Amino acid sequence: MTRSDSTVRPPVKLTLLTGFLGAGKTTLLNRLIGDPALADAAVVVNEFGEAAIDPLLIEAVSSNGVISLSNGCLCCTVRGELVDTLVELAEGTGADLDHALPKRVVVETTGLADPGPILAALMSHPVLSQAYALDGVVTVVDAANGAGTLAEHEDSRRQVAVADRIVLTKSDLASPESLAATRRAVGRVNPRAKIVDAAAIEGAEGILVGCGLSDALSRGEGVSAWLGETGDAHVDASSPGRRGGEDGASHHHGNHAHAGHDHGDHHDHDHDHDRRHDHEHRRDGIRSFSLETDRPVPFDAIAGFLQILSETAGKRILRMKGVVLLAESPGRPLVLHGVQGFMHPPTQLPGWPGQTPPMTRIVLIGQGLDERYARDLFSAFTGGIAPDAADRTAVEANPLAIPGVAFQR
Ligand SMILES: Nc1nc2c(ncn2[C@@H]2O[C@H](COP(=O)(O)OP(=O)(O)OP(=O)(O)O)[C@@H](O)[C@H]2O)c(=O)[nH]1
């Protein structure tokens, strides 16, 4: 087998490590890089500016060492270089890559990077989308100054918004008040992500490793944990060790049973609920909500929904995750991953994990994303009742709908 025969290998798990300037990403990587969970990992570090300093600070303990990209900001000029490097890593090509193929890759972004375009590249690139599986987006937040940074910098809010896991650093420097304020601020921007304190966890597992769906399932946590729907999202984010913002209840329905619900009422309730609770993070329109139905959905219908949503509102989708109860194979949930209108090639689980009710749940994290429009579109494709219109004509009449795109069913 040639090393470039990436199609037959299981995808390499990739962690995107992000966080604002000086939040502590490099320090954290340096601490964890020798951990067995990161054995055979490659670390790709992007630096903003002329000199690549971080790679010098990271001890090259992993067998693959540290690959530095130093020609600018990862979210613009270096994206091509990052993509090339990741392709070379996956294919085992490239001048400096005479080593075993990595089992895992950690990409540390510059503190000013918007993770969105990087995620989009991972999901849309023909080689990368096959060769890599996103383990998760890990966002480092300085516990001492996080609230202030989030208030001041949209980049920081976007980094937090798309995170699967928030890692608080510098808790040794933070007063209880600033720690609580940081937790609240994080919870307002992203009520779904699990918040962990870097100082409280020994190894890389639980910090850099284990955010993905397969990890959640192997821990017996079910799909809800991956989607950020565990029941404790309703608690105040200031409670140490808990997750979710004080307005966390506004963004999803926890792990409630939905069988037998009237989904029209259900959506209305959700709108009202959101209006009551939405506040601070709407300053830049960053918010999340879930689309749910317990009706089995034909593949064509979900494909049509995703196509129109990405064509009409793709740029406003910071992140999408979901599981679909397919009409064609109801026993095998379809797993969705998307960003900015790009979808990762969908995969199917062998079955519904224990305690996961077989139903479609799609979490959308958007910026300026019209929730009513997304809900109406979803309802039109999945046979639900849209709040203001009886059927898919509500969407066909929507000026945002793409002319000439036919509904599949
Ligand atoms: N006391 C304390 N200092 C920390 C901690 N984590 C990081 N620092 C310090 O914070 C500063 C910035 O840390 P870095 O790891 O370089 O931060 P970064 O996120 O990689 O920074 P950029 O590369 O600029 O985006 C350094 O002086 C670190 O020593 C921590 O948990 N406690």
User: Which numbered atom of ligand 1 lies nearest the CA of 140?
Assistant: 19
Rounded-to-integer distance, Cα 374 and Cα 270, Å: 13
With a CB cutoff of 8 Å and minimum separation 6, the contacts of 263 are: 292, 293, 379, 384, 385
What is the whole-number distance in angstroms between the Cα of residue 29 and the centre of ligand 1?
10
Q: pLDDT digits over 343-389, tens only?
A: 888 888 888 887 778 999 999 988 889 999 999 999 999 986 544 44
Rounded-to-integer distance, Cα 237 and Cα 242, Å: 6
ipTM above threshold 0.95? yes
Query: Is there an atom of ligand 1 within 6 Å of 22 CB?
Result: yes
The answer regarding whether domain 257-396 maps to CATH 3.30.420.40 reads no
What is the whole-number distance in angstroms between the Cα of residue 102 and the centre of ligand 1?
26
Protein residue with least CA distance to atom 12, ligand 1? 22
The CATH homologous superfamily for domain 6-211 is: P-loop containing nucleotide triphosphate hydrolases (3.40.50.300)
CB 88 within 8 A of CB 96: no
User: Does 257-396 match 6-211 at the fold level?
Assistant: no
Protein residue with least CA distance to atom 13, ligand 1? 24
What is the whole-number distance in angstroms between the Cα of residue 25 and the centre of ligand 1?
7
Pocket test for ligand 1, best of 27, 43, 112 (most atoms within 8 A of CB): 27
CB 322 within 8 A of CB 194: no
The two tokens of residue 409 are 């069913």
Spell out the domain ranges in the chain: 6-211, 257-396
What is the whole-number distance in angstroms between the Cα of residue 296 and the centre of ligand 1?
48
Query: Is there an atom of ligand 1 within 6 Å of 173 CB?
Result: yes
Query: Is there an atom of ligand 1 within 6 Å of 31 CB?
Result: no
Average pLDDT of the residues of the chain? 73
Which pLDDT does position 115 carry in this prediction?
Answer: 84
Q: pLDDT digits over 64-112, tens only?
A: 445 544 433 333 334 457 788 888 888 876 544 445 577 888 888 877 7
115-124 helix and 154-161 helix, angle to the nearest 10 degrees: 40
Rounded-to-integer distance, Cα 366 and Cα 289, Å: 9
Protein residue with least CA distance to atom 30, ligand 1? 170
